[in-house]
Amino acid sequence: MDKIKLLKTLTELKINRDNCTVKVVGTSMEPLISDGDMVWLEMSKKYQTGDIIVAIDTRGRILTHRILKITGEALFIKGDNAVALEKVMKENCIGKVVKISKHNGESYLIYYGLRSKLITIFSTMMNRQFTRTKDYKKTMNSIYRKFILRLLKNSNVR
């Protein structure tokens, strides 16, 4: 069994034991999901653009990101607070985020509707700007990033 499959199996065992929850480490999905938040997963074999997933990338990292593009068996994902796309295979997806429990005690469900689709569009534009300019600071201060933040601000339903 290769390293990625072993990591996926062990992660799924831990998730099953912990009632389908994963503690997020990192800031790539801020402000929606912060370091230390718990995400509740729904196991799925079918994903769509805009879904926030937990998956294992080719380097063995467990990522919580939003799907921006699907090509065959490959998913191209990016954190809302990141500029670069990551590629993961569908077989290495652990589940789709359906609920977030913030480390401050708040909890809310995730609804994948128009807001999620708009965030996906602006996030894709953000990635394209970074790919074109290679200017991280300019990309993080772009109008696309501002639109994403506005869509996420003061909303209990994302």
For residue 103, being part of any structural domain is answered with yes
40 near 98, Cβ under 8 Å?
A: yes
111 near 155, Cβ under 8 Å?
A: no
Give the bridge partners for 78, in sequence order: 66
For residue 65, being part of any structural domain is answered with yes
For residue 102, being part of any structural domain is answered with yes
53 near 75, Cβ under 8 Å?
A: yes
How confident is the model over 92-134, as pLDDT tens digits? 898 999 999 998 889 989 989 999 999 999 999 999 999 999 9
Distance CA 125, CA 123 (A): 5
Distance CA 34, CA 32 (A): 7
For residue 106, being part of any structural domain is answered with yes
Distance CA 62, CA 1 (A): 18
Q: Which domain holds residue 129?
A: 3-152
* Coil vs helix vs strand at 38: strand
For residue 157, being part of any structural domain is answered with no
For residue 97, being part of any structural domain is answered with yes
Domain of residue 60, CATH code: 2.10.109.10
DSSP secondary structure, 116-140, as one string:
HHHHHHHHHHHHHHHHHH--HHHHH
The pTM for the full model equals: 0.87
- Spell out the per-residue pLDDT of the chain, length 158, in tens: 466 666 666 666 566 555 688 889 899 999 999 999 999 998 888 899 999 999 988 888 889 999 999 999 999 999 999 999 999 999 889 899 999 999 888 998 998 999 999 999 999 999 999 999 999 999 999 999 999 999 998 565 44
For residue 158, being part of any structural domain is answered with no
119 near 151, Cβ under 8 Å?
A: yes
For residue 131, being part of any structural domain is answered with yes
Q: How distant, in Å, are the alpha carbons of 1, 3, 95, 107 from that of 7? A: 10, 6, 14, 28
Number of domains observed in the structure of the chain: 1
